[in-house]
Amino acid sequence: MPARDRGFARQHAAQGYPDTDSVFYNESKVAPTTPSFSHLSADVTIVLGPKAGILRGTVADAVTGAPLDPCVDFHIASEPNNFLSGTGLVNSEYRVLVPHDRDVIMKIWHEGYLPWYYPGVRNKSEALALHLKSGEERTLHIRLQRGNDASDAGCNTPLCFSRCRP
């Protein structure tokens, strides 16, 4: 993406508008338009779509309060193959856009810590869907407990931590 386009995207993300090129944020894809030099002028309409939900907060060690930069996994509940996952999406202090009016399963993990599922449980079977309306903001201060759980160690992919195996 050219620098000008990244700046445009960052500016609108700061205002709560997600990147609608991503299926994760947009159920119905809009066909992209490619400009050409055969037409010297054009009318352009930029469609921002509705605002996403905004999730903000902190992630830290539950005992020491030390900040943690975890790995995160957001899955659309009704579409398990529609997800956003990796490091850097949520840091020790974060603000992340979440698809609006959709049920999203959220998992946070870090090496040496038990996984955390929304709304603050350790077991996937107890997880609930996060559901934010367009423009709604929610604050979550996530505290991870040290430990390992062989049944759900948090390591789903080496994308987040090199020693993890799927």
The CA-based diameter of the chain, rounded to the nearest angstrom, is 63
**Residue 3, phi then psi, degrees to nearest 5:** -55, -40
Q: Which amino acid is at 164?
A: C
Can you give the pLDDT of all 166 residues of the chain as single tens digits?
A: 444 454 545 555 566 666 666 666 666 555 555 666 666 666 666 666 678 899 999 999 999 999 999 989 999 999 988 888 888 889 999 999 999 999 999 999 888 899 999 999 988 899 999 999 999 999 999 999 998 765 555 455 555 555 544 3
> What topology is assigned to 3-24+49-144 in CATH?
Immunoglobulin-like (2.60.40)
What is this structure's pTM? 0.72
Domain positions in the chain? 3-24+49-144
